[in-house]
């Protein structure tokens, strides 16, 4: 999906991810692996991230956004510091074509500074305007209070709970919560 870059008030750029972002995105996904993502850090691969970025750029029902701190030239994608990512991955199947699955993470040093909220607002605005995404779905760990608070405050509703879905490294299990938001 095409996304016009936006320089926000305060030092934050929101723009479509390019393949040049694959390495910083990989670093952030590895950091988030222990905190809230389903992938383990050794399962995140820059090549796969790069392919995912290309697929999202090509698909009308997908969107890969990064949040970045500006460098010398704020609108030069290769001159900024990527501090967050958000993927809306549209389903390839025809009957699910207007449903997208959300993944997001912010670099640990930059959390709780509104970056996640601003990426979400931007992605929802672009998705709504595109007319290609009717429903955004996500799964989050039942103990991810920050994420659940953020999604709820942005209009996401809990649709269900998948019991003991995640096996943690200590052998214990954790529920996933299913949340979703419909285009208004």
Ligand X SMILES: CC(C)(COP(=O)(O)OP(=O)(O)OC[C@H]1O[C@@H](n2cnc3c(N)ncnc32)[C@H](O)[C@@H]1OP(=O)(O)O)[C@@H](O)C(=O)NCCC(=O)NCCS
The binding site for ligand X (CB under 6 A) comprises: 32, 35-37, 104-106, 111-117, 138, 140, 144-147, 149-150, 153
Q: Closer CB to ligand X, residue 55 or residue 148?
A: 148
Structure tokens given for 3: 């996304």
Work out how close the CB of 118 gets to ligand X at its nearest, in angstroms, rounded to a whole number: 7
Q: Which residue is at the shortest CB distance from ligand X?
A: 36
The count of C-alpha atoms lying within 13 angstroms of the C-alpha of 87, restricted to the half-sphere facing its C-beta, is 23
Q: Closer CB to ligand X, residue 73 or residue 178?
A: 178
> CA-based diameter of the chain, in Å?
48
Q: Closer CB to ligand X, residue 77 or residue 116?
A: 116
C-alpha dihedral sign at 170, 87, 58, 137: positive
Work out how close the CB of 105 gets to ligand X at its nearest, in angstroms, rounded to a whole number: 4
Residue the block writes with tokens 């997001």: 104
Work out how close the CB of 156 gets to ligand X at its nearest, in angstroms, rounded to a whole number: 10
The whole-angstrom separation of Cα 20 and Cα 78 is 7
Residues 6+ apart with CB under 8 A from 76: none
Q: Closer CB to ligand X, residue 110 or residue 134?
A: 110
């Amino acid at each position: 999906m095409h996304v016009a870059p936006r320089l926000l008030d305060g030092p934050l750029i929101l723009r479509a991810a390019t393949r040049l972002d694959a390495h910083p995105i990989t670093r952030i996904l590895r950091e988030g692996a222990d905190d809230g993502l389903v992938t383990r850090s050794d399962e995140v691969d820059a090549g796969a991230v790069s392919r995912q970025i290309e697929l999202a750029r090509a698909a009308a029902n997908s969107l890969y956004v990064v949040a970045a701190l500006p460098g010398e030239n704020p609108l030069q994608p290769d001159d900024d510091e990527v501090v967050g990512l958000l993927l809306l991955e549209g389903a390839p199947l025809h009957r699910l074509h207007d449903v997208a699955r959300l993944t997001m993470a912010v670099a640990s040093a930059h959390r709780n500074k509104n970056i996640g909220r601003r990426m979400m607002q931007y992605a929802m605005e672009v998705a709504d305007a595109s007319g290609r995404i009717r429903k955004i779905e996500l799964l989050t760990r039942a103990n991810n209070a920050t994420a659940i608070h953020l999604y709820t405050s942005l209009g996401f509703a809990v649709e269900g709970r998948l019991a003991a879905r995640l096996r943690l490294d200590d052998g214990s299990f954790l529920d996933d919560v299913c949340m979703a938001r419909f285009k208004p």
